């Protein structure tokens, strides 16, 4: 099993144990691949949920550019909702897990088809 596969397993476990979701492994794999090399970097692989600038980056680079959504307050509400689901006390909020949950939230799985 390669490093990426190990990370995907870790993300799937987070979705199950911390978020109460049964992950769609195919979609999770595609979202993880879409994150590129950032998944291998300790800092870039996580989202700092308390950093407003970081959340703006998630909104602009992922929700607007990648998923093709229009900017609106609903985008930040969705990010807040996903972080709430993940758990504010959870120190490591993996980018791939957050992106996966946002993709599901907006029903944008087709972006990864």
DSSP string, 78-92: HHHHHHHHH-TT-S-
- What would the two tokens of residue 36 be? 């590129």
d(CA 32, CA 100) in angstroms, rounded, equals 8
Residue 91 pLDDT: 86
Instruction: Count other Cβ atoms within 10 Å, centred on residue 79.
Output: 23
Residue 74 pLDDT: 97
| pLDDT for 3 beyond 90 | yes
For residue 65, the SS3 value is: helix
φ/ψ of residue 46, rounded to 5? -120, 160
Residue 90 pLDDT: 87
Q: How many residues in total does the chain contain?
A: 113
21-74 pLDDT, tens digit each: 999 999 999 999 999 999 999 999 999 999 999 999 999 999 999 999 999 999
For residue 78, the SS3 value is: helix
- pTM for this predicted structure: 0.96
Residue 28 pLDDT: 98
- DSSP summary character for residue 1: -
Q: What is the mean pLDDT of residues 77-99?
A: 95
Residue 45 pLDDT: 97
93-113 pLDDT, tens digit each: 999 999 999 999 999 999 998
């Amino acid at each position: 099993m390669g490093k990426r596969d190990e990370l995907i397993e870790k993300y799937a476990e987070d979705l199950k144990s911390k978020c109460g979701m049964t992950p769609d492994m195919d979609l999770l794999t595609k979202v993880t691949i879409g994150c590129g090399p950032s998944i291998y970097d300790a800092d870039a692989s996580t989202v700092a949920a308390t950093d407003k600038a970081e959340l703006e980056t998630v909104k602009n680079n992922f929700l607007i550019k990648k998923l093709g959504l229009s900017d609106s307050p609903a985008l930040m509400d969705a990010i807040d909702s996903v972080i709430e689901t993940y758990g504010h006390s959870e120190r490591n909020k993996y980018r791939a897990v957050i992106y996966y949950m946002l993709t599901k939230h907006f029903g944008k799985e087709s972006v990864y088809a």
